[in-house]
Amino acid sequence: MSDNTSSVSGLFHAQAARTPDLKAVVDGKVELSYRQLSAYAARLSRRLLALGIGRGDLVGLRAGHSADTIVAMLGILGAGAAYVPLEGRLPAERVRRMAADARVRAVLTVPPLDWGLSDLPTLTYSLRDPDATVGSAVPPPVEVTGDDLLYVPYTSGSTGRPKGVEVPHRSVPGFYIDEDYGPWRPGLRAMCHSAMSWDGHVFEVYPVLTTGGTLVIHRGDDGSDPLAVADAAQRAGADMLMLPTQAFNTVAAERPGLLAGLRCLVIGGEVASRDHLGKVLANQPDLTIVNVYGPVECTCLAIAHQITAADLALPAIPIGRSIGDRTVHLLDEEHRPVPDGVVGEVYIGGPAVARGYLGQPGLTAERFGPDPFGPDPGGRLYRTGDLARRVAGVYDFVGRADDQVKLRGFRIELGEIDIQLRAHPAVTDAATVALAEDNGLRLVSYVVPDGPHVTSLREHLRRVLPEAMVPAAVVGLDAFPLTHSGKLDRQALPAPPVTAAGGGDRPASSTEKNLAGLWQALLGLDEVAREDDFFVLGGHSLLATRLALRVREAFAVPITVRDIYDQPLLRELALLVDERRATSAAA
């Protein structure tokens, strides 16, 4: 039975006391036992307390994937503080706004990332620092309960201001303790690769480290490349892996053999594909694939379903039944329960529900309300905005009740993109839509410009929004089409034109010509120009994953997804390929 009164850090240190010599973290050549990890975390907790950082404080965590980061997380929690993920891949301006909004007491950095500003106290942490081994290895006597904050992730906000979700410790244990959909136990090897800005990292880290398993760290800039992640999992002998659904689809389509050796694969975030699931299950019938559902406001998941071959014949793959201490309700517009088979909005209750949105009481009141169905008079329900139907206790996802979208695992409020566009002096109005295409959803923004300069708007958005929120195209219009009632007629917006980004000059070198062929095959285009931008032409992160694979196969050079983001023009990418070929030849 889950313990919602204990802290996650307390559960970890208790596990370390039970299994001190088991391997807790593997990060390349760095391996930490539970005894060592507990000691490092305890020393960092005491160091933070000595600096005046303690219970109830928020600490910005500027770190990538490493054993050092795991220590940093546990050290912050052991001091009674909570961490605010400030990822290195986010635009600097957005990270600064998040830190200011959260009013973090300090920023803890893990090299090679730094803070680079003098506005806040900064502490750098490394296992190689002499201070890491100085002081008592006993966890400090700080009372941390299930109601204390664990972390504050920021999600997209429809008002243009990202929302900080106040997630307490009690939200975590109930989704895995005494649950049999996942193989958590001593000796389990599970991958850690998910971005800290969403709750995938919570799913990966804490269930493993509170049950005696081994966390295998996936480093590098290719964390957004699911093929690289799956390959790393296979090479590490991992038993368990979590992938966003679209990332799983990419692995299933391109390299399904990379999933061989896994015992459990967890997918979620978008509607599951029967074709991709069928392909994997046909080749690996013993692999347990679990389809999960849950918003960050209720930590990781509230519903789960182990997929079987019989599910492939259903109209939709179920998201499953409620799990652990999560309660799930389907309600109509009058907040009344709907009968089986009828679509209703998903509301979630129980200890999983977050406190609310940091510093936004109005928005908190909109989404978090009293729970009239639970045993606790003070219990609350979270209104997800998702629609589902239930048949015999099993839930099927239907869609959204608003304009929020899930894009390749990222939750996106389209309104936030529009607000950032309207902030540009060249734009008087904006509207963003998610278009369904063969390669998945594609974000397209339409603007009514106050002038002819529309081409620079994507660069403007890159400076203030995460990559996943930057639209593939920005289309200028003289005026928006309107309905008879004067509202925006989204159905009447024109299809975005596919045009060359720079003059239409044909590929010149053999490398450019071969790359152009790869682009054309992936993007479904008849021709590509030298100055074309892969992402403007319809590319996105998962297509970039496939492109990186094809470039590696065609040219025998190491090209990553990050390289494609950094060199998105055909001409630029061709130069990079030629440089790497020359380097390989000279080695």
Over residues 385-406, the pLDDT tens digits come to 888 889 888 999 887 776 667 7
Of residues 585 and 518, more confidently modeled: 518
Nearest to 87 by CA among 66, 60, 67, 127: 60
Copy the structure tokens of residue 19.
């299994």
Task: Please name the helix (run of DSSP H) or strand (run of DSSP E) that holds residue 467, with its range, or none.
Answer: none
The answer to whether residue 450 scores a pLDDT higher than 60 is yes
Copy the structure tokens of residue 152.
């504050």
CA atoms of 210 and 173, how far apart (whole Å): 9
Q: What value does the mean pLDDT of the chain take?
A: 88
The band of 418, judged by pLDDT with boundaries at 50, 70 and 90, is confident
Question: pLDDT > 70: what percent of the chain?
Answer: 92
Find out whether 506 and 570 touch, Cβ atoms under 8 Å: no
Rounded to a whole number of angstroms, the distance between the first and last alpha carbons of the chain is: 57
Same domain, 515 and 474: no
Do the domain assignments include residue 158? no
Copy the structure tokens of residue 380.
């609350």
The answer to whether residue 206 scores a pLDDT higher than 60 is yes
- Look at residue 54 in the predicted model and tell me its pLDDT: 95
The band of 471, judged by pLDDT with boundaries at 50, 70 and 90, is confident
Q: Each residue of 401-414: pLDDT tens digit?
A: 766 677 666 777 78
Give the residue from 457, 492, 527 where a domain finishes: 492
Question: pLDDT > 90: what percent of the chain?
Answer: 57
State the CB neighbour count (10 A cutoff) for residue 13: 21
The band of 291, judged by pLDDT with boundaries at 50, 70 and 90, is very high
CATH at 558: 1.10.1200.10
Same domain, 415 and 466: yes
Query: Residue 551 is part of which domain span?
Result: 510-586
Do the domain assignments include residue 303? no
Domain total for the chain? 2
Q: Each residue of 483-493: pLDDT tens digit?
A: 655 567 777 88
The answer to whether residue 307 scores a pLDDT higher than 80 is yes
The answer to whether residue 434 scores a pLDDT higher than 90 is no
The answer to whether residue 500 scores a pLDDT higher than 50 is no
The answer to whether residue 158 scores a pLDDT higher than 70 is no
Do the domain assignments include residue 297? no
The answer to whether residue 327 scores a pLDDT higher than 50 is yes
- Look at residue 439 in the predicted model and tell me its pLDDT: 62
The band of 177, judged by pLDDT with boundaries at 50, 70 and 90, is very high
The band of 308, judged by pLDDT with boundaries at 50, 70 and 90, is very high
Burial (0-12, 13-18, 19+ Cβ within 10 Å), 340: exposed
- Look at residue 502 in the predicted model and tell me its pLDDT: 43
Strand order in the sheet with 440-449: 427-437, 440-449, 473-476
Copy the structure tokens of residue 84.
């605010």
Residues 417-438, mean pLDDT to the nearest whole number:
81
Q: Judging by DSSP bridges, how do beta strands 149-151 and 163-168 pair with one another?
A: antiparallel
CA atoms of 520 and 516, how far apart (whole Å): 6
Residues 158-179, mean pLDDT to the nearest whole number:
89
- Look at residue 257 in the predicted model and tell me its pLDDT: 94
Same domain, 487 and 515: no
- Look at residue 1 in the predicted model and tell me its pLDDT: 47
- Region for residue 303 given its phi and psi (left: phi exceeds 0; alpha: psi -120 to 50; beta: otherwise): beta
Residues 523-550, mean pLDDT to the nearest whole number:
85
CATH at 417: 3.30.300.30
Give the residue from 492, 521, 538 where a domain finishes: 492
Least confident of 50-54, 201-205, 508-512, 541-545: 541-545
Same domain, 468 and 415: yes
Q: Each residue of 81-133: pLDDT tens digit?
A: 999 999 988 888 889 999 999 999 999 999 999 998 777 899 999 999 998 99
Same domain, 522 and 452: no
Do the domain assignments include residue 553? yes
Copy the structure tokens of residue 231.
């390959």
Per DSSP, which regions of 77-192 are E strands? Answer: 82-85, 106-109, 122-124, 149-151, 154-155, 163-168, 189-192
Same domain, 487 and 524: no
Give the residue from 443, 464, 492 where a domain finishes: 492
Handedness of CA 549, 554, 559, 562 (dihedral sign): negative
The band of 539, judged by pLDDT with boundaries at 50, 70 and 90, is confident
Do the domain assignments include residue 470? yes
Find out whether 227 and 549 touch, Cβ atoms under 8 Å: yes
Do the domain assignments include residue 323? no
Of residues 512 and 3, more confidently modeled: 512
Do the domain assignments include residue 431? yes
Q: Each residue of 209-253: pLDDT tens digit?
A: 999 999 999 986 545 788 999 999 999 999 999 998 888 988 998
Ranges of H-type helices in 108-216? 200-209
Residues 297-302, mean pLDDT to the nearest whole number:
93
Radius of gyration of the chain (CA): 24
Do the domain assignments include residue 173? no
Same domain, 417 and 487: yes
